[in-house]
């Protein structure tokens, strides 16, 4: 009679044979391919394979096919990617992996694959960084809904705003041929169907956190258990970009456009004015607590400009154009206008020295600020100057933080040694977030590329992983995050692409409602 452990071994073995593409070596031994691939990049070799309902994958490396193979790392069963950051080029390495099931049984090894690290041009490196970042949304997207997980390790907790960023990342990945268009369209349709049919909405708006398996709201805080109109605007920015990009006439892309159109028309933006004659949007509404959060949007330049522009642009539930001045800017204008010069750079609007850099990213992933202005400024120029202020601040380094210079700069909201903070020049504990400087690339390409290369080549062994740059690091405390956050990964791939081709700007701005809304609030071309 077989012992229980032997039964588990047999079941696991045959599961691998059936599900993980077994291949014969020709010598009577069976290996498993897992569809394993190896690809050489600058200073690193990336492995990618087909995942499954497994607990863990172990990665083994050797200098030859004969071995010996030594274990160099492991990944969760949800992450079918491993990036071996070697730190040098022209190294040829050989790899194989094994799978660990829920009973902690290890499969036989995969077939052997190999690649060589190689020097890349700047353009090749940018593509390489984009491709790695893309994997967060593609390979780590929720398996049921396709939505973007809030962060690495968050399980079923998905983020509506981060999903909007992920949708634009898929547009970039499709254009860069990281995936085939048919694959991308199928993934997009799965996401859009889930958002429409299963994800709970409140007056057409989504919650901040969505259960990627059930579609139910996961409360973000005690009273934040309903609609989040800001996160909804980030999601809609992505959906409207996809509506224009997936423009082929076939059943899949036709359905994508049709469903996005319906979702766009169902968001009741004017509900979030709270009162019929309201002029300022409110961030949250809950069916259990109504307006208890009482969080108005406006009066200060931050990440929420896109929320007002989309609310004004709505074809079905628009807010008055006057809300741009009376709500977004605020009638007193005291917190919106700046007009000061820092480190030789004029800043027209925004917090002193710009605030966290995500203010200059989130609303401008799809909304193209070039060549146009409201009565305060050209926001491309304002965002450029804020980026340069951050660089100069880090170069001056008044807080004497370790490593700060003109190559190591960029403060934004991210994880840090003590939790999560919105870092900026007036609230700086020495934590640098790669997304901050890299996502400024459309505004300051020379400075951003130099920062990217400094992060990569100087600190790559500590801050690079399966989905590209990890969230943050603090040299004062020798701390390096292991985490990834959707809202930090998304701007990296999108803003690199907007610098290179203007892709997401092009397709978002192709929505005719956006241009019409800009005219109604008084924006002018320059």
- Total-model pTM: 0.94
Q: Measuring CA to CA, which residue among 401, 428, 395, 404 is closest to residue 414?
A: 428
Closest CA to 108 of 5, 24, 51: 24
User: How much is the pLDDT for 116?
Assistant: 98
What does each C-alpha distance from 206 to 157, 335, 473 come to in angstroms? 14, 29, 32
> Could you give the angle at the alpha carbon of 324 between the alpha carbons of 321 and 325, nearest 5°?
110
For residue 435, give the nearest of 399, 411, 467, 459 by alpha carbon: 411
Which CATH architecture describes the domain 123-525? Alpha/alpha barrel (1.50)
Matching CATH number, 4-119, of 3.90.1170.50, 1.10.1040.10, 3.40.50.410, 2.60.40.10: 2.60.40.10
C-alpha of 14 from chain center: 37
Condensed to tens digits (0 to 9), the pLDDT of residues 347-397 reads 999 999 999 999 999 999 999 999 999 999 999 999 999 999 999 999 999
CA dist 479 → 75, 187, 427, 439, 458 (Å): 21, 36, 18, 22, 15
pLDDT band, residue 332 (cuts 50/70/90): low
Per-residue model confidence as pLDDT tens digits over 173-230: 999 999 999 999 999 999 999 999 999 999 999 999 999 999 999 999 999 999 999 9
Cα dihedral 347/350/356/358 (nearest 10): -100
The closest of 434, 412, 414, 431 to 354, measured between CA atoms, is 412
Smallest CA-to-CA distance from 486 within 192, 166, 174, 194 is with 166
**pLDDT digit string (tens) for 443-466?**
999 999 999 999 999 999 999 999
Q: What is the mean pLDDT of residues 314-324?
A: 98
Among residues 159, 161, 180, the alpha carbon closest in space to that of 170 is found at: 180
Q: Where are the domains of the chain?
A: 4-119, 123-525
pLDDT of residue 22: 41
Q: What is the DSSP string of 173-233?
A: HHHTTSS-HHHHHHHHHHHHHHHHHTS-EETTEEPSEEETTT--EE-SSSS--SEEHHHHH
Query: What is the strand order of the sheet 56-62 is part of?
Result: 70-76, 56-62, 92-100, 113-116
Segment 331-356 mean pLDDT: 92
pLDDT band at residue 335, thresholds of 50, 70 and 90?
confident
């Amino acid at each position: 009679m077989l012992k229980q452990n032997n039964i588990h071994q047999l079941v696991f073995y045959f599961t691998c044979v059936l599900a993980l593409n077994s291949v014969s070596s020709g010598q009577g031994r069976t290996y498993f391919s897992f569809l394993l691939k190896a690809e050489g990049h600058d200073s690193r070799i990336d492995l990618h394979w087909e995942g499954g309902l497994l607990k863990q994958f172990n990665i083994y490396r050797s200098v030859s096919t004969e071995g010996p193979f030594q274990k160099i790392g492991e990944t969760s069963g949800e992450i079918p990617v491993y990036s071996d950051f070697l730190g040098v080029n022209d190294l040829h390495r050989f790899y194989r992996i094994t799978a660990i099931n829920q009973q902690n049984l290890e499969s036989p090894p995969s077939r052997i694959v190999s690649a060589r690290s190689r020097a890349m041009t700047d353009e090749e490196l940018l593509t390489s960084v984009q491709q790695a970042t893309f994997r967060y949304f593609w390979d780590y997207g929720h398996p049921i809904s396709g939505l973007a997980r809030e962060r690495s390790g968050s399980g079923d907790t998905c983020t509506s705003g981060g999903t909007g960023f992920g949708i634009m990342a898929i547009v970039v990945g499709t254009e860069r041929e990281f995936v085939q268009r048919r694959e991308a369209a199928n993934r997009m349709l799965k996401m859009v169907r889930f958002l429409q049919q299963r994800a709970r909405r409140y007056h057409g708006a989504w919650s901040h956190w969505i259960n990627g398996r059930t579609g139910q709201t996961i409360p973000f805080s005690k009273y934040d258990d309903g609609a989040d109109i800001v996160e909804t605007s980030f999601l809609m920015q992505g959906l409207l970009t996809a509506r224009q990009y997936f423009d082929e006439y076939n059943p899949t892309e036709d359905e994508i456009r049709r469903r996005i159109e319906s979702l766009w028309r169902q968001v009741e933006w004017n509900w979030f004015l709270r009162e019929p004659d309201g002029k300022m949007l409110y961030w949250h509404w809950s069916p259990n607590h109504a307006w208890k959060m009482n969080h108005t949007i406006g009066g200060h330049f931050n990440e929420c400009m896109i929320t007002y522009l989309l609310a004004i642009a709505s074809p079905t539930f628009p807010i008055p154009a006057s809300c741009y001045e009376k709500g977004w800017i605020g009638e007193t204008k005291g917190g919106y206008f700046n007009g000061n010069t820092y480190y030789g750079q004029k800043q027209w609007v925004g917090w002193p020295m710009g605030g966290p850099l995500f203010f200059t990213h989130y609303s401008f992933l799809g909304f193209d600020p070039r060549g146009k202005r409201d009565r305060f400024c050209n926001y491309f120029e304002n965002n450029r100057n804020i980026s340069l202020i951050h660089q100069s601040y880090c170069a001056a380094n008044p807080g004497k933080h370790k490593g700060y210079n003109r190559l190591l700069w960029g403060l934004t909201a991210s994880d840090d040694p003590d939790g999560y903070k919105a870092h900026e020049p007036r609230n700086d504990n020495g934590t640098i977030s790669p997304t901050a400087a890299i996502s400024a690339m459309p505004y300051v390409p020379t400075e951003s590329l130099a920062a990217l290369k400094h992060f990569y080549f100087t600190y790559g062994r500590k801050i690079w992983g399966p989905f590209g740059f990890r969230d943050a690091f603090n040299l004062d405390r020798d701390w390096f995050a292991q985490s990834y956050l959707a809202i930090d990964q998304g701007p990296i791939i999108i803003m690199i692409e907007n610098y290179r081709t203007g892709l997401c700007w092009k397709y978002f701005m192709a929505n005719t409602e956006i241009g019409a809304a800009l005219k109604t609030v008084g924006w002018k071309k320059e």
